[in-house]
Amino acid sequence: MKVINYTREDIIRRTGDKLNLTHDEMKLILDTTLDTVAEMLTEDKSRIRIELRKFGIFEVKPTKAKPRARNPKTNEEVYVPPRRKVHFKPGKNVRLKLQQEWTKTD
């Protein structure tokens, strides 16, 4: 099955067409929005939640340290320190669209 890879330029083009904005205007809006979201997600707090109604929720969750993780390549035991990760939970509209019956179109 062929994977379709969308890029930032695809988002700029599609959204710019919908809003009747030039490429440069839309690029500035998208870059500023994504920079702001990235800043919010990387704030120095342990739990952060960004809720975008009708789209989904981005949530930063802390992970526990793993003192006995294993490197599958070398079979060596390694220590993995605690960190934070971003979790995305799709909103109701997106989830319902994805749950509809689907037939492959390749």
- Domains identified in the chain and CATH numbers: 1-42 (no CATH), 47-100 (4.10.520.10)
Q: What is the mean pLDDT of the segment spanning 56-77?
A: 91
Q: What is the mean pLDDT of the segment spanning 50-63?
A: 93
Instruction: Categorize the per-residue pLDDT at 46 as very low, low, confident or very high, splitting at 50, 70 and 90.
Output: confident
Work out the angle between the directed axes of helices 8-19 and 23-41 (0-180°, nearest 10): 120
Give CA–CA dist 35/88, Å, rounded: 17
Residues with Cβ within 8 Å of 54's Cβ and at least 6 positions away in sequence, in order, are 91, 92, 93
* pTM score of the predicted model: 0.76
Given a cut of 70, whether residue 106 has pLDDT beyond it is no
Q: What is the mean pLDDT of the segment spanning 27-34?
A: 96
Q: Residue 21: its pLDDT value, please?
A: 95
Q: Is 34 helix (H, G, I), strand (E, B) or coil?
A: helix
The residue that leads in pLDDT, 45 or 87, is: 87
